[in-house]
Amino acid sequence: MYTSKKIQFARLIIFIVSAGILFAGSAEAQQRNDPRATVQKFSSMLQLINYYYVDSSDAVRLTESAITGMLKELDPHSVYLSKEEVKKANEPLQGNFEGVGIQFQLFHDTILVIAAVPGGPSDKLGIMAGDKIITIDGEEAFGKKVTNNFVMERLRGPKGTKVNVGLLRKGRSGLIDYTIVRDKIPLNSVDATFMLDNETGYIKLTRFARTSLTEVRESIASLRKSGMKNLILDLRNNSGGFLDIAIDLSDEFLPADRLIVYTEGLRSPRMEFKATSRGNFEKGRLIVMVNESSASASEIVAGAVQDWDRGLVIGRRSFGKGLVQRPFTLPDSSVVRLTTARYYTPSGRSIQKPYDAGVEDYFADLTNRFRHGEFVSADSIRFPDSIKYFTPSKRVVYGGGGIMPDVFIPFDTATSSKYYTDLWRKGLLNEYTINYLDGKRELLLNAYPDVSSFLKHFDTGDEFLNEFVAFAATGGVPEDSEGLERSGREIRYILKGMIARNLYDVSAYYEAISPVDHELMQAFEAIKNDVLFRKLSIAM
């Protein structure tokens, strides 16, 4: 019972603090919202709880709950991060972490090494894909207790520290013991770089991290050596990252002095960010792919490319996250990421979608879009004339939240089936891949020494598919002729891609599945369409 009372008091604090945040519009209002009075009121409430509450209380937890409650009253993206959460939140964007340098997955309650990060400490010791980690610092590392957090807590750690692991390797009896000295491990933000044909390059960027610009430049240089003239930049499911990296990446495509984005808020004067003369791909056809999970920095790039007629945006309407968060460090090293401004595209469009209906409704937006049919039909989207804007070539673009693509690509429903969904749900595609490679890895690498030879010659014909279907049946998904008719081609390519990823790298996976990525194939067709690009070339 006293636990519920604590919660009630926490809610009371949240209410009191939230109620005190009002915009000053008159002398009376300013007096009513005197910061000193607000702080005193909050302190008094904590003292009352400390002196008179029926049970012991946690002032730190109550304060954090109050801060979280205040931020929820503001907007969906102002957040509080404890000292411990700050490091975890920043890690994917810093471009590196400290640990042993392996990609792993949990397979039948066992830690299976998928790959050692090239040049990392595990790679230097000879730890290989297919190895199973059985012990960590003498502790058994298998069974139901093993989760992703279990592995991360034991294998990640400060550079220079040591961890002892016992590995089980195919063809070797007993455990192989390694002492791994942890080091900085790079986190790549470019997942794939390859040529779709003799002239068209493809880059998949998964986040806007500190290393992203360097990675993209290296990818462009590599593709140019292969003859690239046109580029497809895939920002699907890219939720964003650093603003300055988004600006620098946009700069790669735009001529000098073109406005990329500007920010503005009630207490944040307008700041404009323009392109320089340093761009590495200012000529050549460009397509930016987006979908409903492309947000923030992705939308800045897509908006700048679209507004200046530099290229085409293809896919589905992006998420609509256009609020600028500025981090403020509190005395205990926790951080508040407070929204201070909005992003606007060069034409003046606000990227941010409305959030005045509340946080829950805001984050239910994608579900609502799906229910309204927006993922399968562009006609389901209604734009009022008040949010209509024009590019230099007089093309119409729309504000109101997110970036609406120039070419809409519906969500693929033609090849999906219950059979295919069940295979994913039960993890059988991945499980088959691991079983298939067990004992065959060296044989396959000898037969296919590089990605190109594997993609060209590895056979996924009827015999291969039939073996998988039989395997899936033993795993609880019986053969379904109708499902195979609809999804058989996708299953072949996905399996081939998973094998390629395990043998080579993640880029090989995307290259292998590209023929059944119907959105990418439509973008590939669009980049060869002279009619679509004619207006753009006139504008530029």
Pick from 423, 472, 510: which is nearest to 201 by CA?
510
Q: Which of 6, 132, 321, 353 is catalytic?
A: 321
Spot the catalytic one: 122, 219, 296, 507. Answer: 296
- Token digits of residue 268: 């944040």
Q: Catalytic: 321?
A: yes
- The interaxial angle of helices 59-72 and 2-19, nearest 10 deg, is 50
296 is catalytic: yes
What gap in Å lies between CA 220 and CA 51, rounded to an integer? 64
For residue 192, the SS3 value is: strand
**Residues 6+ away with beta carbon under 8 Å from 2:** 54, 55
Does the annotation count 56 as an active-site position?
no
DSSP assignment, residue 414?
Answer: S
Q: Which of 131, 251, 307, 480 is labelled catalytic?
A: 307
Q: How far apart are CA 311 and CA 537, in angstroms?
A: 9
Q: Are 122 and 159 in contact (CB under 8 A)?
A: no
**Identity at 48, one-letter amino acid code:** L
CB 183 within 8 A of CB 189: no
* Structural tokens at position 495: 């399996």
Q: How far apart are CA 75 and CA 342, in angstroms?
A: 12
Which residues neighbour 383 within 8 Å (Cβ) at sequence distance 6 or greater?
A: 398, 400, 404
User: Which two structure tokens, joined as six digits, stand for 291?
Assistant: 């979908």
| φ/ψ (deg, to 5) at 210 | -60, -30
Q: Alpha-carbon distance 50 to 64, whole Å?
A: 16
Residues 175 and 124: their CA atoms lie apart, in Å, by 19
Contact present, 151 and 134 (Cβ < 8 Å): no
In angstroms, the CA 275 to CA 259 distance is 6
Tell me the two tokens of residue 327. Answer: 């981090």
Q: 3-state class of 17 per DSSP?
A: helix
Catalytic residues: 296, 307, 321
